[in-house]
Amino acid sequence: MNALGPSSLDPLLPSPLEPVEDERFTRHGVRLLLKRDDLIHPDLPGNKWRKLAPNLAAAAGRPVLTFGGAYSNHLRATAAAGRLLGFPTTGVVRGEELAGRPLNPSLARCAADGMRLLFVDRATYRAKGDPDVLARLLREAAPDSVVVPEGGSNALAVRGCAELGRELRAQGADVAAVACGTGGTLAGLAAGLGADRRTVGVPVLKGGFLGGEIRGLQEAAFGGPAGDWRLDERFHFGGYARTAPALEAFAADFGVRHGLAIERIYVAKMLYGLVALAEEGAFPPGTALAAVITGRPDGPAPLGSGQPSAASR
């Protein structure tokens, strides 16, 4: 397999940076820009492309084993890449009870793209980093498989996401904002944007653990801290895949204002947080604020169900 890139899958890079007029920002002297990473590739949009591309290039056509939940877009993107580029894929899915049920639309798409699905109990899934557990999973898949972590976040992925920061720097962004699941996108984005510009991360999970994860990813990718970044933990709306009427109303309104359907699990929470931060005066007048649109609202799970959408990390 050739290195994953324009010659193989023809991504739209750099992704467009679109200015939008929104009085919630302009009245504070802030210019809002939407970084349309959702347009990079129809099957591998947004940070899924940026994380997977270097990992799959390193795999060089060998089988890939990776991990995700029942609605994981990471699994869907990996399966699609396997179909498009012709390498075998195995997805380890959290929840052994799912094995006896009809596949949901997300997992059905993975299977249709040729991914072998291994359903494991939650204790096994939590222990997936244990060498013995991983060895057993590899025996069930292909022993020569390259292992890509859940969400695709590792040192290779972080270095891939640094290109997002370099693009935004070249496009004139002063501050960049992104929703965070595993933290890999922010870790790379901040490094590429540089220490003289600011990166804001909006975690979609509660728990306060993500800062340590990001520092660890930057250590692995760059040998130490990189860029000027901060997290705002206030906008998770109860935790991963949780939503609320206020978030639903905000996302619907934003979509009407700007003609863009908003993915709820990640993107809506980030945009909601940016409106609140602008109102609080977090961005000086004259700031060019780039909001990274990491995915599309094409998930099979109904909003408010407590189930992850297809944008799942």
Annotated catalytic residues are 72
Kindly give the pairing relationship between strand 175-180 and strand 31-35.
unpaired
Q: Please report, in angstroms and rounded to a whole number, the separation of the first and last CA atoms in the chain.
A: 25
Instruction: Write the DSSP symbol of residue 50.
Output: H
Half-sphere exposure of 202 (CA within 13 A, CB side): 25
DSSP structural state of residue 312: B
Give the sign of the dihedral formed by CA 145, CA 72, CA 70, CA 79: negative
Q: How far is CA 138 from the centre of its chain?
A: 25
With residue 168 as reference, give the H or E element that holds it.
Answer: helix 155-170
Q: For residues 240 and 249, give the distance between their C-alpha atoms in angstroms, rounded to a whole number.
A: 18
Which pairing describes strands 17-20 and 31-35: parallel, antiparallel, or unpaired?
A: antiparallel
